[in-house]
């Protein structure tokens, strides 16, 4: 056989064998393929965290807050229990710090009782100037400053970093209100609920929502933060309540490629294989036959460990169990021969420090 014929023969053999070699895989590679094939989830996992959401919240709120700063001081309408600093130039004896009464009035020397609730600071200045002209001074100069706002409260609670009651000068968007509460907590769900409060007659038209608008509004967080559509970034008025419901979390720890907690969508349950897919599959050193589901009873706090053979589940020889909120899927290391319970306790202890991923 000539040299040229040998080269042609070797080339032919390589071309024939290459596809066969490509299909020749290690057991770990084959298992990964089965894992990928059987653990597909309906929705694409995006891998975002609450930190990503909070960065977006901050970006959106900065522009909105800057635009509102210039007009908020002028547009703010005084309400009951607000604390006002009133100064009269060239007549310091008339300077007062007064609190608006429950009926919306303030009382000043030489003037008496005046209705302040419902007026802006500029409106009240004009009223005071007119009264002083008639009773005491020829050309009074009056300044009104709102030192404390106590009447324009918005309640923010649920899965936010700082739940509480916040005072706002005027209506704000959902993004601004969530930013005031320092953003979302790690276990925040995928919805924001705005409950309209009763209108305060001392605040004026700006406080009331559209009469045709529902009293309870539910908004998808992704619509607010990702679409950029202002329709979803609804206005929040004094007296409203903003709630971010908590989401269920399923944890996958141990010998997986991306250990962490994965948020469940509203009223959603996922299977073990779907949870493993979110964790990007098993590692080469995972002990598939010695995995456990660690379930905690919400009522009693009692912990139950359920053995699961992932190898059988992957090959369809065993059912794919459904996980519930706060369940932990623990996959031990195949090289370790220590008792499982030691590893399970470690798995429980680290769930508080894992990254929480959104889908």
CATH of the domain at 221: 3.10.560.10
Q: How many domains does the chain contain in total?
A: 3
Integer Cα distance of 275 and 357 in angstroms: 12
As to burial, measured by CB atoms within 10 angstroms (0-12 exposed, 13-18 middle, 19+ buried), residue 108 is: middle
Integer Cα distance of 83 and 177 in angstroms: 23
Contact 230, 249 (CB under 8 A): no
Is 28 within the bounds of a domain? no
Contact 101, 80 (CB under 8 A): yes
Structure tokens at 267: 């009223």
CATH at 100: 3.30.1950.10
- Asked whether the whole model's pTM tops 0.75, one would answer no
Integer Cα distance of 346 and 187 in angstroms: 21
Is 238 within the bounds of a domain? yes
Is 44 within the bounds of a domain? no
Structure tokens at 127: 């009223």
What number of other Cβ atoms are within 10 A of residue 335's Cβ?
A: 8
Same domain, 207 and 110: no
Is 129 within the bounds of a domain? yes
Same domain, 281 and 337: yes
Query: Of the candidates 96, 122, 148, which is a domain's last residue?
Result: 148
Same domain, 194 and 253: no
Contact 27, 337 (CB under 8 A): no
Structure tokens at 348: 């429980």
Integer Cα distance of 276 and 251 in angstroms: 10
Tens digit of pLDDT per residue, the chain (359 long)?
Answer: 554 454 444 444 434 444 333 333 444 544 454 345 444 443 333 467 777 887 887 877 776 555 554 445 556 788 888 899 999 988 888 899 999 998 899 998 888 899 998 888 999 999 999 888 887 788 889 999 988 887 788 999 999 999 999 988 778 899 999 999 999 988 888 899 999 986 543 333 444 445 556 789 999 888 888 776 788 889 998 889 999 998 888 999 989 999 999 988 766 789 999 999 999 999 988 999 999 999 988 888 888 899 999 999 999 999 999 998 889 999 988 875 444 445 566 667 667 678 888 77
Query: Of the candidates 244, 264, 287, which is a domain's last residue?
Result: 244
Query: Of the candidates 148, 177, 198, which is a domain's last residue?
Result: 148
């Amino acid at each position: 056989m000539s040299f040229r014929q040998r080269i042609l023969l070797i080339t032919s053999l390589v071309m024939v064998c290459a596809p066969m070699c490509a299909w020749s895989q290690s057991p770990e590679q084959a298992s990964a393929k089965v894992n990928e094939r059987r653990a597909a989830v309906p929705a694409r996992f995006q891998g975002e965290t609450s930190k990503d959401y909070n960065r977006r919240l901050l970006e959106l709120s900065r522009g909105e807050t800057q635009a509102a700063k210039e007009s908020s001081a002028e547009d703010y309408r005084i309400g009951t229990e607000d604390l006002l600093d009133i100064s009269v130039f060239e007549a310091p004896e008339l300077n007062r710090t007064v609190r608006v009464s429950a009926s919306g009035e303030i009382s000043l020397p030489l003037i008496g009782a005046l209705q302040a609730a419902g007026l802006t600071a500029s409106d009240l200045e004009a009223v005071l100037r007119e009264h002083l002209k008639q009773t005491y001074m020829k050309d009074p100069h009056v300044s009104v400053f709102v030192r404390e706002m106590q009447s324009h409260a918005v309640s923010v609670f649920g899965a936010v970093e700082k739940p509480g009651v916040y005072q706002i000068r005027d209506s704000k968007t959902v993004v601004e209100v969530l930013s005031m509460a320092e953003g979302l907590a790690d276990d925040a769900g995928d919805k924001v609920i705005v409950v309209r409060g009763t209108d305060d007659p001392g605040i004026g038209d700006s406080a009331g929502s559209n009469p045709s608008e529902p009293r309870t509004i539910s908004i998808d967080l992704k619509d607010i933060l990702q679409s950029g559509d202002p329709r979803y970034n609804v206005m929040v008025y004094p007296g409203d309540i903003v709630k971010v419901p908590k989401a269920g979390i399923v944890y996958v720890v141990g010998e997986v490629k991306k250990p962490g907690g994965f948020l469940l969508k509203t009223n959603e349950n996922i299977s073990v294989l779907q949870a493993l897919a979110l964790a990007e599959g098993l590692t080469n050193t995972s002990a598939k036959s010695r995995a456990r589901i660690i379930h905690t009873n919400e009522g009693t706090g009692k912990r139950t460990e359920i053995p699961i053979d992932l190898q059988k589940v992957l090959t369809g020889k065993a059912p794919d169990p459904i996980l519930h909120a706060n369940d932990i899927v623990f996959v031990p290391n195949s090289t370790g021969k220590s008792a499982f319970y030691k590893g399970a306790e470690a798995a429980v202890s680290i769930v508080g420090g894992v990254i929480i991923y959104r889908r």
